[in-house]
Amino acid sequence: MLPADWPAVRAIYLEGIATGNATFETEAPEWERWDAAHRPDCRFVAVENDAVVAFAALSPVGVRRVYAGVAEVSVYVAAAARGAGAGSALLQELIGASEQAGIWTLQAGIFPENEASLRLHQRHGFRILGTRERIGRLAGIWRNVNLLERRSPKL
């Protein structure tokens, strides 16, 4: 992912926000804030017919040394491209890049209602650790989040 991809990535992120089942966020950040929060070595876009149709990125889970090999996964696919394999291809690429970067654990927080994302992550070796009940409010409604984890078999 390059800075020039940001307008398309932001639009895809906004589509995810609009579903109400992708994130607790209610607006997309500016590039500088998003860029600072995500690892530069583990961010990718999927391009089809010269258009960005999906993105995936990792963000650190903490600054303490013990968490240096743990990162949180974000995968978003444009509405028009869902179900065509872009998310799977990106997640596979992200897993490979994370292992090259020395990351031994990937985690994801996914709303239980986001069944497609749960299936995608499970197909790529993530397992559900549990449910964080009523972890936050979205549009005034308490929401649960499934916590998933993938431990690298290589590290």
Q: What is the pLDDT of residues 125-145, one digit of tens each?
A: 999 999 999 999 999 999 999
3-151 CATH fold: Aminopeptidase (3.40.630)
Residue 57 confidence (pLDDT): 98
Q: What is the pLDDT of residues 26-41, one digit of tens each?
A: 999 999 999 999 999 9
Residue 36 confidence (pLDDT): 97
Residue 19 confidence (pLDDT): 97
Task: Supply the Cα-derived Rg of the chain in whole angstroms.
Answer: 15
Q: What is the pLDDT of residues 38-74, one digit of tens each?
A: 999 999 999 999 999 999 999 999 999 999 999 999 9
Residue 147 confidence (pLDDT): 98
Q: What is the pLDDT of residues 64-112, one digit of tens each?
A: 999 999 999 999 999 999 999 999 999 999 999 999 999 999 999 999 9
Query: Does pTM surpass 0.75?
Result: yes
Residue 76 confidence (pLDDT): 98
CA angle 91, 99, 115 (to 5 degrees): 25
Closest to 116 (Cα-Cα) out of 152, 151, 85 = 85
Q: Where are the alpha helices (DSSP H) in 25-128?
A: 31-37, 86-100, 115-123
Residue 56 confidence (pLDDT): 98
**Region of residue 139 (left: phi > 0; alpha: psi -120 to 50; beta: else):** left
